[in-house]
Structure 1
Amino acid sequence: MAAPSLISLLADGAWHRGPALAQALGVSRAAVSSRVGELRGLGLAVHAVAGRGYRLAAPLDLLDEAEIRSALGPGAARLDELMVLERTDSTNAELARRGGEGMRACLAEYQSAGRGRAQRPWASPFGANLYVSLGCDLTGQRAPLGALSLAVGVCVVEALAARDAQSLALKWPNDIWAGAQKLGGILIEHRGEIGGRARLIVGVGLNVTMQRDQAQAVDQPWTRLADHMATLPGRNVLAAAVVAALMEAVTGFEQTGFDAFRDRWARFDAVRDQPVRIIESDGERIGFARGIAEDGALRVEINGQTRSVYSGDVSLRLAP
């Protein structure tokens, strides 16, 4: 059995005396104090009172590999590896460094350098959200890889809707919304091709219980699952649902391309027939979103003419 970490000992939110923590961890009292400082550096509120010890301001529902595998059921057998990390720079980067073939999932409690589209930073407070990546091999794809983020979005929101999450929507090409605010995002990275096989890393960040003071750097309206579910499932149940959704998306996309997802996307399309701003390298244009093309492109009507725009070329904003 792996040695416990300080955060796993404190996760219950109860008081734990310093000598007991030191004994459980096999370290000195001074080392316990130092590790408490590290946790505070991660943004966790750790209370310390002489004679009582240490406790977290609130309990944490920590990720657990065994619980995620149990929630996945038979689907866990499809994974060649499932790793749960306390902290990393980003789950996508972790999978890229480790390499390997087959289907590998990585989850982390904390990301020090979480990334969104166009290398934008992704708020990743400890134990508050889900940061999930899936490495997979894709052969003989039937649609541009840009459409895969749409397929992933469909499978993730359907999985959340099946657990009674409300007001879900998808904003082309890679945003998950709830109540017209950003709930999560998708980042897909291409890691090379050998003999017609593409190695992909598909990352999803999903806000679960993040507090306002943990998201001060976020520069757009955002929301969290806790505000859109009457009963919030445990994080391990949600993690398994996201991992299963990613596996479903990449398998279906490999078999049928975007065809099997296009109508399902339309059910959640947040911008169809809405005025939008298309921001390209040569300027901005105002038009109306007219749905998704067969290859995953966004169809936009501008001055009476409809054109396709692709995720690598533009940014999309709702227009006044």
Structure 2
Amino acid sequence: MTRSLPQSLALQRQLIQQLSDGRIYSGELLAEQAGISRAAIARHISQLQSYGVDIYSIKGKGYKLSAPLQLLDAAKIRHYQTAGMAEVLLQHVTDSTNSQLMRRLQDGQQLSKGSVLVAEAQTTGRGRRGNSWFSPFGANLYFSMYWQLEQGIQGAMGLSLVIGLAVAEVLEQQYLLPVRLKWPNDIYLADKKLAGILIELAGQSHAQCDLVIGLGLNLHMPRQADQQISQAWTDLQQHVAQPIDRNQLIALLQQRIVLHLRSFEASGFQTFSAAFNQRDQFLGKMVCLSSGDKQFCGLSLGVDSQGGLLLEQADGAQSFYGGELSLRELARG
């Protein structure tokens, strides 16, 4: 379902739809179709560029996207959804899909388990540990799902690994890619970060709690991405020959994540540990875990039955659990 947009966002959406085929359109034609001045068109184009839309202004000719763009489409997503899946809500531009779902919960809105909110762009996308998430318009997937966990917050241990596994399985099956997982919340391809997961919880430790499960997945990053991202990254389109259908991918991810969440509720993480370890980016490698000014270095033995990272040090093996821990491979040499 889509909600009515403020006039400025509706006009920007109209402009993007017009330009999405990758052809050149004159400012005069765009202004005539929108019923506004050419100067107003220029202002809206500038605003779209600030969202990360790669639009060229060609002197004497008009405006053109650097490449054709597939927009999110509620009807197409519904076409790809399987029976029984909850609704997918679409946003044009939002601050953060996770924040949007959290506000709906705080406002007392009733959401169905498995409901998803996606956006074309985020203005303040968030990653784990307070990091920002680069979220240009139409380039990637900004996806948040609502779930209710009967076991409470304590029952969520290992959940980010389960979500990562669901995403990896979809990408493996749909695109035949050797996806890897990095504890506790990253998805890797060709030794570079492809996606990140952010799970936010609201509730009590031993009572029913609400979850918002956020996924940021790089699909087709713009050229300026290197200026915005400090770590090695990749996107899906670099590894896939055919164009990526974002609307289909949203439906596939929703279905697989819901399937894994139901299994997780019934059996906990232990049924997923072997599948995670098969895809573990750092299994058998020397790594360092950081927490503030503390560091723990050793040999990564994968994850245990509760989703903790098993690290072999001089005094034996020890499991570490999420929180504010950051994992890096130990530099060689």
Q: TM-score, normalised by structure 1?
A: 0.91
Unaligned 5+ segments in structure 2 are 5-9
Do 2:152 and 2:207's aligned partners in 1 also have CA atoms closer than 8 Å?
no
Pick from 120, 123, 140: which aligns with 1:109?
Answer: 120
Pick from 228, 238, 241: which aligns with 1:227?
Answer: 238
Distance across 1 between alignment mates of 2:300 and 2:262: 28
What is residue 84 of structure 1 aligned with on the other side?
Answer: 90
Do 2:121 and 2:137's aligned partners in 1 also have CA atoms closer than 8 Å?
yes
What is residue 63 of structure 1 aligned with on the other side?
Answer: 72
Do 1:143 and 1:258's aligned partners in 2 also have CA atoms closer than 8 Å?
no
What is residue 95 of structure 1 aligned with on the other side?
Answer: 101
Question: Is residue 167 of structure 2 the alignment partner of residue 156 of structure 1?
Answer: yes
Q: Deviations over 1:185-220 (max 9, x none)?
A: 100000224993210000011111113422312111
What is residue 42 of structure 1 aligned with on the other side?
Answer: 51
Per-residue deviation, 1:73: 3.0
Distance across 1 between alignment mates of 2:170 and 2:278: 14
Compute the RMSD of aligned alpha carbons. 2.3
Per-residue deviation, 1:257: 1.3
What is residue 121 of structure 1 aligned with on the other side?
Answer: 132
Distance across 1 between alignment mates of 2:130 and 2:209: 22
Do 1:92 and 1:201's aligned partners in 2 also have CA atoms closer than 8 Å?
yes
Do 1:143 and 1:295's aligned partners in 2 also have CA atoms closer than 8 Å?
no
What is residue 184 of structure 1 aligned with on the other side?
Answer: 195
Describe how 1:1-320 pairs up with structure 2 within 5 A: 5-49=14-58, 52-74=61-83, 77-79=84-86, 81-99=87-105, 100=109, 101-103=111-113, 104-140=115-151, 144-193=155-204, 196-320=207-331
Distance across 1 between alignment mates of 2:85 and 2:173: 22
Do 1:142 and 1:255's aligned partners in 2 also have CA atoms closer than 8 Å?
no
Unaligned 5+ segments in structure 1 are none
Q: Deviations over 1:57-93 (max 9, x none)?
A: 221111111111211232xx321x3112121111101
Per-residue deviation, 1:19: 4.2
Distance across 1 between alignment mates of 2:294 and 2:52: 39
Do 1:167 and 1:228's aligned partners in 2 also have CA atoms closer than 8 Å?
no
Per-residue deviation, 1:40: 1.9
User: How many residues are paired up?
Assistant: 317
Per-residue deviation, 1:49: 4.4
Evaluate the alpha carbon distance shift between residue 72 and residue 265 of structure 1 in structure 2; reply closer, same or farther with a 3 A threshold: same
Aligned residue type for 2:80 = A
Residue 132 of structure 1 aligns to a residue in which SS? strand
Distance across 2 between alignment mates of 1:191 and 1:301: 34
Q: Which moved more, 1:54-63 or 1:170-179?
A: 54-63
Identity of aligned pairs, percent?
36
Evaluate the alpha carbon distance shift between residue 215 and residue 135 of structure 1 in structure 2; reply closer, same or farther with a 3 A threshold: farther
Q: Which moved more, 1:39-48 or 1:201-210?
A: 39-48
Q: TM-score, normalised by structure 2?
A: 0.88
Do 1:109 and 1:131's aligned partners in 2 also have CA atoms closer than 8 Å?
yes
Do 1:183 and 1:223's aligned partners in 2 also have CA atoms closer than 8 Å?
yes
